[in-house]
Amino acid sequence: MLDNFRTGSRKNLRSGTGTIRNLLEQNVSDPIAGCFDGIFHLACPASPVHYQADPVETFRTAVWGTYQVLELARESGARVVIASTSEVYGNPLVHPQTEDYFGNVNPIGLRSCYDEGKRGGETLAMDYARTRAVDVRIVRIFNTYGPRMMFDDGRVVSNFCHQALLGEPLTVYGDGSQTRSFCYVSDMVDGLIRGITSPVFDNPVNLGNPEEFSMIELAKLVGELTGSTRPLRFLPLPSDDPSRRRPDISKARKLLGWEPRIPVREGLIRTLADFRTRLGRNAD
């Protein structure tokens, strides 16, 4: 495992039942040594709070970090899963989003370091597949959530859960009509594993939950699950914030036999239980 813990926590390594045999603490953009059969490239700040904090480093991670991983895969003969993102579709003009849609992305906006960085990473990965014979599997990950999310990472699920449990108003940007699709973390992990073990793959493949929620609907559901009665707090919509987001997962169903199994309500119940536990510890 390689991580620089810029947006992660060492505590998470002690929370599961598995064992990390080797931990290499470094930046993925630096040269990586080793020999591997399979590689999951998941490195990159993925929430607006984090990827906009140092946009140059975000873009470098998305492109140059991907280059380092692809070089490692080429030298090792390893199969590599490249974690891309639904953000490559930008503010989509096609709904739901299929893998053959090229997207509607602002190349010079505040989100561009991540959006265009991931698009550049995909370009590099496909060129390695075509010209260096690297077995590349690009998965476009839609909003994922679950236990052990950071309280202050700026994602809507963590924001709503944290605010509701603290008795604060839930913050909604714009009028709350924008939509997202939320995939529970265990379902996403299952999709990633199927991505690397599948004997056949057709780049790229969407991984996400096709159940679509507006921000207002999600806020009401979190309020219901927590008993929160505080009014919503509306703030201006950030620039280039997508108005709709929903994956077409037909390819994932056909190639990987994959689809989400945890309903959003159940996933939120599990996430809220974890948030309550950790907030209780912090209060001690």
CB 196 within 8 A of CB 81: yes
Our answer to whether residue 184 is catalytic in this structure is no
Provide the 3-class DSSP secondary structure of residue 102: coil
Residues in CB range of 46: below 8 A, 6 or more apart: 7, 85, 114
Which parts of the chain fold into alpha helices (H)? 48-51, 55-60, 66-76, 112-131, 156-165, 185-197, 215-226, 250-256, 264-283
| Helix (H) / strand (E) containing 85 | strand 79-85
Both structure tokens of 165:
């449990």
Report the amino acid identity of residue 260.
Answer: P
Cα–Cα distance, 6 to 248 (Å, whole number): 32
Q: What angle do CA 50, 54, 60 make, to 5 degrees?
A: 105
Question: Look-up: residue for tokens 């620089």?
Answer: 4
CB 186 within 8 A of CB 121: no
Provide the 3-class DSSP secondary structure of residue 38: strand
User: Which of 114, 128, 145, 184 is the catalytic position?
Assistant: 114
Both structure tokens of 23:
């931990």
CB 187 within 8 A of CB 262: yes
Residues belonging to the active site: 114
